[in-house]
Amino acid sequence: MSSDYAEYVRRTALRLPTVGIDIGGTKIAAGVVDGEGRILEQLRTETPHKSKSPKVVEDVITELVLALADRHDVHAVGIGAAGFVDAQRARVLFAPHLSWRNEPLQEALSDRLGLPVIVENDANAAAWAEWRFGAGAGEEHLVMVNLGTGIGGAIVHGGRLERGRYGMAGEFGHMTVVPGGHRCPCGNRGCWEQYSSGNALVREARELAAAESPVAQPLLDRVEGDVASITGPLVTEAAQEGDPCAVELLQEIGQWLGLGLANLAAALDPGRFVIGGGVSAAGELLLAPAREAYRRNLTGRGFRPEAEIFEAELGNTAGLIGAADLARGRARRFRTVKRARVERAERVSRTGVGRRRTQWWTPLER
Ligand SMILES: [Zn+2]
């Protein structure tokens, strides 16, 4: 049944261009995406500081959409943001990078733009994009795991995002893998993302370097002895150039990744895992040890089919593409965003000037 549904989604999806917006910790990216998942044009700007009011972020989003609408037909807008989004995809309950707290973003923006708007958790948006156009295409039971600064995750099952009852499914990064382990900003200890993420990679690399271990010397040479300059991409680059210490660091992250995936397989039994996020750029240096650890820890190993573990294909545009594609489901063929209309409505609401008050007819009594 679910297989038919997935096929139905593919066949009947509208092909109207929509805008996807990816709100990150430092940058906001906006792009026009066509029905094949191609980005026709993309703009970027700085994310307003956390201290700014929600209205400032809405202004930035509106400006980006209008700038794109000057050159493209835009039929709907999808917004992907880190944080908790309610199951109706209307409110952002909490966003770590922004001042949004129970923010009715969908209503505010769709009123302003005169268009359908959806809000989605960034990991959900990325997983949807990989399922529609990337490494998850054709898979009925897909689990995506994003290794960024933390771990984001999402489930696509039978052509639908599995959001959970309250919209918060997929927070895999906060499964406890080491009771009493490293402290996590979520308040607990030993969360998976403390062992298998960009932050974990950097923490381990810096710890090793700060301990003045001779094995970390080549890594230290790359940053001229400045431990604080060691970053995830730097370790990945060193590993790709054959630095044994960097290879080992990624191996360790990969092993923790495999262990967590085995736990997820015990709970969810997917057909495929897609691994995205910045750390996945390490490719097989990360995924080979992950597959090995996965097999070692899998429940019922040797007696069950094993999920494949693939690297994501859409890179850091997945969130934007996915948000745009999810919004497409609400698009209307004859409705596009018009700059003149949006600006006029804003002027009227700000100044009251332009409101049609002078009526030559007598309105009917109500
Ligand atoms: Zn945690």
In the prediction, which pLDDT does 323 show?
97
Q: How far is the CA of 183 from the centre of ligand 1 (A)?
A: 8
CATH architecture designation of domain 2-127+318-351: 2-Layer Sandwich (3.30)
Give the distance (Å) from ligand 1 centre to CA of residue 153: 13
Q: Is the pLDDT of residue 7 over 70?
A: no
Query: How much distance in Å is there from the Cα of 163 to the middle of ligand 1?
Result: 19
> What does the pLDDT look like over 299-311, one tens digit per residue?
988 889 999 999 9
Expressed in angstroms and rounded, the spacing between residue 44 Cα and the centre of ligand 1 is 30
Q: Report how far ligand 1's centroid is from the alpha carbon of 172 (Å).
A: 9
Q: What is the Å distance from ligand 1's center to 191 Cα?
A: 5
Q: Rounded to the nearest whole angstrom, what is the distance from the C-alpha of residue 65 to the centroid of ligand 1?
A: 34
Q: Is the pLDDT of residue 361 over 60?
A: no
* Contact indicator for 203, 232 with CB cutoff of 8 Å: no
What does the pLDDT read at residue 17?
Answer: 94
Mean pLDDT of the chain: 91
Give the pLDDT score at 335.
Answer: 87
What secondary structure letter does DSSP report for 94?
E
- Tell me: pLDDT of 78 over 60: yes
Cα 301 to middle of ligand 1, angstroms: 28
How far, in Å, is the centroid of ligand 1 from the Cα of 234? 25
DSSP 48: P
The mean per-residue pLDDT over the stretch 270-288 comes to: 97
Residue 175 C-alpha to ligand 1 middle, in angstroms? Answer: 7
pLDDT of 42 over the 70 cut: yes
**Mean pLDDT across 231-247:** 97
Q: Compute the average pLDDT of residues 262-289.
A: 97
How much distance in Å is there from the Cα of 138 to the middle of ligand 1?
Answer: 32
Beta bridge mates, 85: 92
**pLDDT tens-digit map of 309-320:** 999 999 999 999
Span from the CA of 178 to the centroid of ligand 1 (angstroms): 11
Neighbours of ion ligand 1 (CB under 5 A): 174, 184, 186, 188, 191
Instruction: Provide the 3-class DSSP secondary structure of residue 56.
Output: helix
Residue with tokens 């639908």: 160
Scanning 158-283, the segments in alpha helix (DSSP H) are: 198-210, 217-222, 232-240, 244-268
Return the SS3 of 254. helix
Q: Does residue 147 sit in helix, strand or coil?
A: strand
Give the phi and the psi of residue 239 in degrees, each rounded to 5: -65, -40
**Lowest mean pLDDT, pick from 24-33, 187-196, 217-226, 334-343:** 334-343
What are the residues facing 27 on neighbouring strands? 46
The predicted model gives 117-145 an average pLDDT of 96
φ, ψ (nearest 5 deg) of residue 78: -115, 135
Q: Which residues make beta-bridge pairs with 30?
A: 21, 43
Calculate how far, in angstroms, residue 269's C-alpha sits from the geometric centre of ligand 1.
23
Check residue 101 and give its pLDDT: 86
| Å from CA of 174 to ligand 1 middle | 4
Q: How far is the CA of 193 from the centre of ligand 1 (A)?
A: 7
User: What's the gap in Å between 176 CA and the centre of ligand 1?
Assistant: 8
% of the chain residues with pLDDT over 70? 93
Distance 148 CA to ligand 1 centre (A): 14
- Ligand 1 centroid to 86 CA: how many Å? 20
- Nearest Cα neighbor of 64 from 107, 101, 112, 97 is 112
Compute, in angstroms, the gap from residue 185 CA to the centroid of ligand 1: 6
| pLDDT value, residue 357 | 52
Whole-angstrom Cα distance, residue 16 to residue 36?
10
Please provide the CATH number assigned to the domain covering 139-312.
Answer: 3.30.420.40
Give me ligand 1 centre to Cα 51, in Å: 24
Per residue in 97-118, pLDDT tens?
788 888 889 999 999 999 999 9
How far does residue 58's CA lie from ligand 1's centre (Å)? 29
pLDDT beyond 60 at 2: no
Gap from CA of 173 to ligand 1 centroid (Å): 7
Query: Where in the chain is CATH 3.30.420.40?
Result: 2-127+318-351, 139-312
186 CA to centre of ligand 1 in angstroms: 4
Question: By mean pLDDT, which of 6-10, 124-128, 161-165, 207-211 is the weakest?
Answer: 6-10
CB atoms within 10 A of CB 333: 9
- Distance from the alpha carbon of residue 177 to the mean position of ligand 1, in angstroms: 10
C-beta of residue 36 within 8 angstroms of C-beta of residue 23: no
Rounded alpha-carbon distances, angstroms, from residue 262 to 270, 308, 346: 11, 12, 52
